[in-house]
Amino acid sequence: MRRITVIDSHTGGEPTRVVLAGGPDLGAGSLAARRERFQREFDHFRSAVVNEPRGSDVVVGALLVEPEDRSCVAGVIFFNNVGYLGMCGHGTIGLLATLAHLGRLGPGGHRLETPVGVVTATLHPGGEVSVENVPSFRKAAGVVVEVPGAGRVTGDVAWGGNWFFLVKHEGVPLTLAHVDQLTDLAWRMRCAVNAQGYPEVDHVELFGPPTVPGAHARNFVLCPGKAYDRSPCGTGTSAKLACLAADRELAEGEPWVQESILGSTFTGRYRRRGDQIIPTITGTAYVNAESTQLLDERDPFCWGIRG
Ligand code: PYC
């Protein structure tokens, strides 16, 4: 029986499962190279940890590895129901809460290496976490796509640690009661923008007016495996900040309170660096399970149910 030690948390409703022990040995080298090796040789491990029957489409896994950059406290590779992420904002907040829960780190700034760059996560004394993300930018503004059943849709393509197509949304309300329709619509948008020459886009972010006092916008974020982000999405908020900065709609250092489809919030701020921005996203995570996953090779679904 193989054993995998994990700790679960959620950040604004979105789950993170940190793998502490029992993961594959990915060797040395850059985090990007180790993520490739993870995908090539150990994809069954990804599926075992996050997919049913142990997980669900919503769970984001975080494999802790030795950092190549020795100024970092750890390296981390995020993964989901269908593959691997560049960075993950809610997951980084969950990881810090997990390491704090274990007594492995205390308040202050901690550098973490990811496949797309080093981020700095700061644990505040009250338990909040701020993540200074990788440099973010808008690649294309006002991209017009023809979406079957929805007509012409205009949005921006931006990088915030993952690739996003951001669309000002009108029509179907951004509420939990409408997630099936929103999922279907956002998926058609993703296919349309990919077909238009932006094949890198893996997340779609629809945004509309806020409903929570103090928030600036509410969003619905569709992730690569068709699950929607329960949190406001850290990398999505970073991409949004890049667009706001490019449009001069938000000044450096000003807060942007981003509300999720659940009403949970992240506060984002940015500073400029050339024609890119460095976003900082602040939120809170709660640890909700410590467990050992058991992998029994006799179990036909030992390595998870893959779509
Ligand atoms: O918070 O960056 C994020 C994220 C990406 C996918 C799910 N959450």
Q: Check if 233 is active-site.
A: yes
Residues 223-232, mean pLDDT to the nearest whole number? 98
From the CB of 229, is ligand 1 less than 6 Å away? yes
The candidate with the shortest Cα–Cα distance to 118, out of 241, 240, 30, is 30
pLDDT at 96 (0 to 100):
98
Tell me the CA–centroid distance for residue 291 and ligand 1, in Å.
23
In the reported structure, the alpha carbon of residue 229 is separated from the centroid of ligand 1 by a whole-number distance in angstroms of 7
Name residue, tokens 């238009």.
Answer: 196
pLDDT at 239: 98
Helix (H, G, I), strand (E, B) or coil at 290: strand
Q: What 8-state DSSP symbol labels residue 160? A: S
| pLDDT score, position 161 | 98
| Ligand 1 touching residue 131 (CB < 6 A) | no
Residue 31's identity, in one-letter code, is L
Kindly state if the Cβ of 60 falls inside 6 Å of ligand 1.
Answer: yes
CB 81 within 8 A of CB 225: yes
Asked if residue 14 has its Cβ within 6 Å of ligand 1, the reply is: yes
Residue range 20-40, pLDDT digits in tens? 999 999 999 999 999 999 999
Helix (H) / strand (E) element for 153: namely: strand 151-159
3-state secondary structure of 120: strand
Provide the pLDDT for residue 307.
73
Averaged pLDDT, 286-292: 98
Q: Give me the pLDDT at residue 287, please.
A: 98
pLDDT tens string 190-208? 999 999 999 899 999 999 9
Residue 87's pLDDT is what? 98
Indicate yes or no: pTM above 0.85: yes
What average pLDDT does the structure give for the chain?
A: 97
The reported pLDDT for the residue numbered 40 is 98
Mean pLDDT on 8-12: 98
Is 72 noted as a catalytic residue in this protein?
no
With a CB cutoff of 8 Å and minimum separation 6, the contacts of 93 are 11, 16, 121, 129, 131, 234, 281, 283, 284, 285
pLDDT tens by residue, 109-140: 999 999 999 999 999 999 999 999 999 999 99
Helix extents (H) in 227-302 = 234-246
**pLDDT tens-digit profile of 71-101?**
999 999 999 999 999 999 999 999 999 999 9
pLDDT tens for residues 237-281?
Answer: 999 999 999 999 999 999 999 999 999 999 999 999 999 999 999
